[in-house]
A and B are shown apart, each in its own frame.
Chain A
C-alpha cells in the first residue's frame, strides 16, 4: 500500500506547480491525474491578470487582490516567487519564457484577428511582444490544408483593428508545405511533428520564404514549430525567416502541450511520482481528515494514502466541478461545499462576454487553502485546494487563471513543507466510493 507525504490530485498547471514545490523540497509526493488536464486547450502563455488598464500583470493582480473573496486576496504575496520559480523551471526544462510580473502588458494578435494583452509568453510566441518599428509589417502565413489558422480573415480584422502601437501594415499568405496532401486529420500536432524532422523542414523553409513580400516583416505562423525539438526548430526558423512567432488557435494546442510536458518532466526529474490515467474513485476519511484515496488501477481499486492532499482538479473545465441538472454544482473528489452564484445568474449577459457569473463558482478556502463550508469552518483539515477549483475569480474576464494556479500551487508547497510523513492511521475509517465521471 503506497503511502506518501503528499498526494496531488490533478495534473494541470496548479497541480504540477504544487507537486514540483513539494518534490523539490524533498517531500515524497505522488500526483494522480485523470488525463492531460486542459493542456490541449490553452494558449501556452502565462496569464497573471489583466484589468484592461493596468500597465503590468503585477499592477492588475494587485487590483484583483483588493476584491473580497478573490484568490489573490490570499495569494498576492506568493505571486512573485511563484512566477519566478515557474520561469526558472521552464527554462531548466528547455522551454524558456520571456517576460514577467512587472513586464508591460502588450497587445498581441490572435489567430482570428482579435487582440489580447500578454506579458509572459514562451520564446516561440514572445517575439510578438517587441515594439513594432515604424516600417515594420505583420505577415500572417497560413498553411494550405490546415483549417484552423485563418490568415486572411485575421489579417482583415487586424488591419481594421484599433491596435495601439501596432504594425504599419498587415498582410496574409498561405503556403503549401510538402507532404501534407496525403495526410488526414491535419492537426497542429501532426504538422509540429513534421517540423521536428530536420530533413523535412529543410524543404519547408524556402516555401515559406517565397511567401514573404519585399519589405520589413515580422511573421506570425500557426503554433506548429516542432513538438519535442521545438527549441531547435525555433532557432532555425529565426535564422531562415527572420523574426517569427507562433499564434495558437483551436485545440489541440501545441504550446499548451509543450508547457505540460516540460512541467511533467521537471516533476519526475525532481523525484515526484506521476500517475496519469488515474481518476479518484473513492475517499477514505478519518476524523475530519482524509486518510487515503482510492483510484481505479487495472482490474482493482488501489489505495493511496498520504498525510496531506492537494486538490487541483481544475474547476468546470477540468472536471473538478460538475454541473448537475437543476443548476447545482458538485465537487467531484471529496464532495466539498461549492460556492456558486444562483443558477439564474450563471449566464446573465453576453454568453462570451463579461457577464458569465458562473466563472466565480468554486471552493472557498482560508489563508491556508483549507476548504470552508458556508459558515466559514474548515471542512477537511488535511486537504488544500489550488488552481481553477478556487472560488471568487473570473479567470476569463480577469485573465488570472494561470497566475492563481502558480501562486496557489506555490503556497500549497510552502504550507505543507518538508517531512510531513504520513502517519498511516489504522483506526476506524469510512470509505465513500464515487462513480468515476
Chain B
C-alpha cells in the first residue's frame, strides 16, 4: 500500500498546478521542492500573462493555448493579476511586413487584437517612442507568480494534498518490473531522510527536468534557455509593451508593481542553475529597450536577473537550432512508453501562462493510468484569495494601510508597502522562512531601494521571534539570513553597476559596513541552530 498515489517533483507554477489538479480529482498527492516554492523559473520571469500574440506567427499552437489560458486565469485567479492590458508596437526598426502576417495569424489562433492609432497609443503611454508607426492592443496582464503558486498550493492542501519545500529528491525507486515504487527525499535544512512509497511520479522540475529524469535512469532532451531581465526603478509604462516583430532581445516591457521589467534575452545554457547576467546581455537589453522608450538606457536599472526556460527538444536531434526557435509548446512525456519506467511522467516546455493546461494534460495521463475517471475542474473552480473576483491594482496595499487607519510605524518596506503584521503572518504560517522566502511571499526588498532599508528591519523581526521562541527548529540564523539577502541583492546589481545605482550601492556599503559593521555580526553569531552562518553562495 503506497503512502500516496502521486509524488510531484518541482514547486513552480506547473508543479503546483499538477498538485492541485491531482488533489481535486481525489488522488492522494504530495509535492516536493528542493528550495522555496517559485524560486526557479516561475519566480524568475518577467511577470507577463501572455495574450498569445507573441507566438501567433511562429508557434500558433502556443498562441492558441495562451489565448485560452489567459481567459481561464482571469476567471480563476484575478487576485494574482494586474489587468494592465498590453500593446504590440512597430518601431522604425521593426519589419514593415510583420503586421501583415500578424493580424491574420492572430485571427487564426483566436487571439484578440485591436488596432490603435499611434496618436492614441502615445496619449496612453507618453514615454513610448514617438516614431512608433503601428500599434495593436492585446489582453496582456501583469501576473504575480508567487501568489499564483501559493493559491494553487492552498487549493491543493484544501483538497488533502501536501507540499514540502526545502526537500530534495535523491532517488526515484523502481521495482523489479521497472515501475515506479517510491521516492527518496532529503530535507535540505535538517538533512533528515525519508522514503515515500507511491504509484506514480510527475516530474515538473521544468528546466531541471533532465536532472530529475536521470534519477530514474531516463534521458530527457532539455535545452535550458536563459532569459535575462532588467528591473527599471519605476513604471515606465502602465501597460505591457511588446515589439511588433519576431521575438528578439529587449522586446517586452512589463509593469510589475512599483517597477518595470525589461526582458528578455535567450541564451542556451548547459546548467539551468547558471543564471548569471552578462554585460553583453545588459547592453543588448538596453539597446532594444531604447527603441521602445527612448532614453530608457539612461534611466536607473536597479537589478539584473535571469531565469531558465524549460525548453524541450522533442526530436532531440536538431542541435543546430537557436533555442528561441525550439517550440514553446509543452509536452507530456510518458516514460513508461518511452523508457520502460512505468508510472513516471515528465511535463516539459510550456510557459507560465499555460501552467494550468499543462497540469490538466499531465493529470489526464496520470489519472487515466491509475484508473481514476474524474474530470479536470481546475478551470472552473476559483482559486483561494480570488473569490471576490477583484484583481490587483497598484494602490491596493496603500489603500489597505489607509483603511487600517494609516500610519507607517508598522511599515517594514516603504517601497512595496509591507507591514510587520504581514511578515509576522507569513512567519506564523511558515516559521522556517529566510528573508528570501519572505521576499517571494511579500515582495520584501523588490522595490526601487532593493532592500537598503527593509533588510535590517526584517532580520530584527526574525531575531525577535527567535528570542520569543516562535521560530521553527529549522529556521535559519537571522544574521545568516541578513547577510545572504544583502549579498544576493548586491549580486543582482553587479551587471548594472553604474550611475545612480552604483552611487546608491556605495552609500549603502558605507552605512552597512561603516556604521553598522554588519560584516562582523556573522562571526558573532547568536545561538544559531545552523552552526556557523554562511555568508552567501559563491
Contact = CB atoms under 8 A, between A and B. Distances in A.
12 contacts: A112-B456, A112-B459, A115-B517, A147-B411, A150-B463, A162-B523, A249-B516, A323-B499, A325-B286, A352-B490, A396-B514, A399-B514
Nearest to A147: B457
A424 interface: no
Contacts of A250: 452-453, 456, 511, 515
A250 to B, nearest CB: 6
B460 A350 contact: no
Contact of B467 (A47, A156, A249, A352): A156
Interface size class of A (residues with CB under 8 A): 35 or more
Given A148-B457, A396-B513, A116 B520 contact: yes
A184 interface: yes
Main secondary structure of the interface of A (DSSP, over half): loop
A156 B527 CA distance: 9
Contact of A160 (B411, B459, B499, B524): B524
A352 B297 contact: no
A186 B506 contact: no
A317 interface: yes
B521 A112 contact: yes
Nearest to B513: A396
Nearest to B464: A152
A204 interface: no
B517 A148 contact: no
A58 interface: no
Contacts of A69: none
A326 interface: yes
Contact of B514 (A47, A150, A152, A350): A47
A320 to B, nearest CB: 10
Nearest to B298: A325
A158 B524 contact: yes
B527 A115 contact: no
B512 interface: yes
Interface stretch (A37-45, A78-86, A92-100): A37-45
B412 interface: yes
A351 B487 contact: yes
B515 A350 contact: no
Given A148-B453, A161-B521, A161-B523, 9 more contacts: A41-B515, A112-B521, A114-B516, A148-B456, A161-B520, A315-B506, A317-B507, A322-B503, A326-B279
B510 A42 contact: yes
A399 B517 CA distance: 11
Interface of A: 38, 41-43, 47, 110-116, 145, 147-148, 150, 152-153, 156-162, 180-181, 184-186, 248-251, 253, 315-317, 319, 322-327, 346-347, 350-353, 356, 396, 399, 401
A89 to B, nearest CB: 22
Interface of B: 279, 282-283, 286, 297, 406-409, 411-412, 452-453, 456-457, 459-460, 463-464, 466-467, 478-479, 483, 486-487, 490-491, 494, 497-499, 502-503, 506-507, 509-521, 523-527, 535-536
A150 B516 CA distance: 11
A352 B409 contact: no
B338 to A, nearest CB: 45
A162 B456 CA distance: 21
A262 B491 CA distance: 38
B535 A350 contact: yes
B456 A319 contact: no
B279 A327 contact: yes
Contacts of A148: 453, 456-457
Contacts of A184: 406-408
Contacts of B283: 325-326
A191 to B, nearest CB: 12
A316 B502 contact: yes
A153 B459 contact: yes
Contacts of A157: 463, 479, 521, 524, 526
A275 to B, nearest CB: 22
Contacts of A326: 279, 283, 498
Contacts of B279: 326-327
Given A150-B460, A157-B526, A396 B510 contact: yes
B244 to A, nearest CB: 27
Contacts of B527: 156, 160
A41 B504 CA distance: 11
A248 B516 CA distance: 8
A200 B168 CA distance: 58
B456, B457, B516, B536 interface centre (most CB from chain A within 10 Å): B516
A115 B536 contact: no
Contact of B520 (A114, A346, A350): A114
Given A250-B511, A325-B286, A153 B463 contact: yes
Residue among A148, A152, A253, A326 with most chain B CB within 10 A: A152
A352 B518 contact: yes
A114 B526 contact: no
A36 to B, nearest CB: 12
A352 B282 contact: no
Contacts of B464: 152-153
Contact of A115 (B459, B494, B524, B535): B524
A143 B417 CA distance: 21
Contacts of B515: 41-43, 110-111, 248-250, 253
Given A150-B460, A316-B502, A317-B506, A156 B286 contact: no
A352 B487 contact: yes
B408 A185 contact: yes
A347 B487 contact: no
Contact of B524 (A47, A113, A401): A113
A93 B467 CA distance: 43
B462 to A, nearest CB: 8
A109 to B, nearest CB: 9
B506 A316 contact: yes
A396 B452 CA distance: 17
B179 to A, nearest CB: 49
A145 B516 contact: no
A86 B520 CA distance: 29
Contact of B503 (A317, A353, A399): A317
A344 B453 CA distance: 28
Given A114-B521, A150-B463, A248-B515, A322 B499 contact: yes
